[in-house]
Each structure stands twice: as structure tokens, then as C-alpha cells.
């Protein structure tokens, strides 16, 4: 069956960039710097969650309130320091974007991250010039799993979400894309396997996703 679409909507962290792994790596040290100890496994639960939610979820796990401002500052400092060593790009990204270029297909980023931070990551990896629009959580009313970022990303391409395909690594992102009305959603899990299996297709890699889309 041929999948028809006019644009491509892409998650960023965990799909194009291997940054979610970095966040899991820095998490224990960040909490330790604030006087708390947490098992490394906990930080897998923060994958795909807006950073603004971290303090609430960590406080629930610790059973005591943690200073959200201090956490955000420590997290950003550690994350950017780690990224200065280089931001790893996920396998298959170049080939996937090359295929979109050959087909003259517009593409937009739909992320739960802040736009400026997403653009910085894309610039550091040489990918910013290959993306037509970047929509972050700060440009919409609600983040994933609400559909807002995907609806806005499609709009910025001059399309409806129903005219696009969406690729995301997380269950939160899949639910957002489906709620936005995307007709073909492909999940490419990164660190956290899907629990919901709501996407139309599951792909092991971007190469597999490209095969599903027929290019």
C-alpha cells in the first residue's frame, strides 16, 4: 500500500539526535549536586517529558519538594557542558533527509523542547539548514501529548496535519500526532520501548521508516 503525503513532521530528541541518552546520563549527577540521590533507572521516565515537568516528577519520586529553579539551572549547565563534547546524530538521519530532498518534501520539527534550544542543537549538528520550520513547546499552548506542536508544525509548512506523516520515538509524541489528525504515524523507539503501540507503524530505525514510506 502506497502512503501518500505532502510533508513530514519530525520529533527531535531521540529521533534525529541521541540527546535523550545524554539526559539520562547526567541526571544522577545533577540531583547529587543538589543534595539528593536517585537511581539512574528513574531518569528513563523523564524521556520525552517537557523539562518544566522534571521538578514535579522528581519531587514525587523523592517524597520531598525540590527547587524547580535550581534544578533547571543545574540541569541546563550539565546538559550544555555535555553537549559541548558533541551532539550525537541518530543513525540514518542523513539518508532520510537526503530522500526528502530528492522528493522535494518539506519537513518541520515538532518538539517538546524550547525552540531556541532545538535550533541550537540542529545548528551544532549541521542540520538546521535542512529543516523548513522548528516548532517548540514555547510556541504553543500545550506540549505533547496534546496535539498543538504537530498542528502548528504542519501549519508552518502550509499544510494540514492530515496531509503529513509524523515520526516520533515516544508514546507521548505518537499520541500527540494522532490527536493532531496525522494519518500515518511511525514510531521509532529510542531508549524506551513503546507501551501503547498506537502508531500505525513501528520501525527499528530511520532506515526502516524510510522503507515503510517507500523511499
Q: Is 7-18+88-213 a domain of CATH 2.40.50.140? A: no
- pLDDT tens-digit profile of 149-167? 999 999 999 999 999 999 9
DSSP label at 201?
A: E
Domain ranges across the chain: 7-18+88-213, 20-83
Beta strand 7-10 with 107-110 is: parallel
Whether the CB-CB separation of 99 and 122 falls below 8 Å is answered with no
Whether the CB-CB separation of 169 and 48 falls below 8 Å is answered with yes
Whether the CB-CB separation of 185 and 166 falls below 8 Å is answered with yes
Query: With 80 as the cut, is the pLDDT of residue 104 above it?
Result: yes
Rounded to an integer, the average pLDDT of 167-185 is 97
Pick the residue with more confidence: 41 or 114?
114
Cβ neighbours for 98, distance < 8 A, ≥ 6 positions apart: none
Cβ neighbours for 45, distance < 8 A, ≥ 6 positions apart: 57
**Would you call 175 helix, strand, or coil by DSSP?**
helix
DSSP label at 213?
A: H
Whether the CB-CB separation of 114 and 137 falls below 8 Å is answered with yes
Of 27, 47, 46, 24, nearest to 37 by C-alpha is 27
Question: Chain-wide mean pLDDT for the chain?
Answer: 92
pTM for the whole structure: 0.85
User: Of 83-87, 105-109, 203-207, which gets the smallest average pLDDT?
Assistant: 83-87
Cβ neighbours for 135, distance < 8 A, ≥ 6 positions apart: 108, 109, 110, 111, 115, 149, 152, 153, 156
Pick the residue with more confidence: 117 or 95?
95
Q: Which helix (H) or strand (E) element contains residue 108?
A: strand 107-110
Whether the CB-CB separation of 119 and 12 falls below 8 Å is answered with no
Query: Band of the pLDDT at 194, cuts 50, 70, 90?
Result: confident
Amino acid at each position: 500500500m502506497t502512503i501518500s503525503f505532502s510533508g513530514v513532521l519530525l520529533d527531535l530528541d531521540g529521533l534525529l539526535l541521541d540527546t535523550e541518552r545524554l539526559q539520562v546520563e547526567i541526571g544522577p549527577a545533577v540531583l547529587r549536586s543538589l543534595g539528593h540521590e536517585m537511581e539512574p533507572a528513574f531518569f528513563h521516565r523523564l524521556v520525552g517529558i517537557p523539562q518544566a515537568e522534571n521538578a514535579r516528577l522528581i519531587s514525587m519520586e523523592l517524597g520531598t519538594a525540590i527547587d524547580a529553579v535550581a534544578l533547571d539551572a543545574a540541569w541546563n549547565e550539565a546538559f550544555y557542558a555535555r553537549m559541548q563534547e558533541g551532539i550525537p546524530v541518530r543513525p540514518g538521519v542523513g539518508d532520510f533527509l537526503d530522500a526528502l530532498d530528492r522528493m522535494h518534501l518539506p519537513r518541520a520539527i515538532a518538539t517538546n523542547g524550547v525552540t531556541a534550544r532545538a535550533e541550537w542543537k540542529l545548528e551544532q549538528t549541521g542540520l538546521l539548514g535542512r529543516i523548513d520550520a522548528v516548532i517548540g513547546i514555547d510556541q504553543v499552548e500545550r506540549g505533547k501529548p496534546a496535539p498543538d506542536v504537530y498542528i502548528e508544525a504542519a501549519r508552518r509548512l502550509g499544510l494540514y496535519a492530515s496531509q503529513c506523516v509524523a515520526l516520533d520515538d515516544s508514546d507521548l509524541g505518537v499520541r500527540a500526532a494522532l490527536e493532531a489528525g496525522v494519518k500515518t504515524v511511525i514510531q521509532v523507539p529510542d531508549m524506551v520501548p513503546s507501551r501503547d503501540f498506537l502508531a500505525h507503524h513501528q520501525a527499528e530505525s530511520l532506515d526502516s521508516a524510510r522503507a515503510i514510506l517507500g523511499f
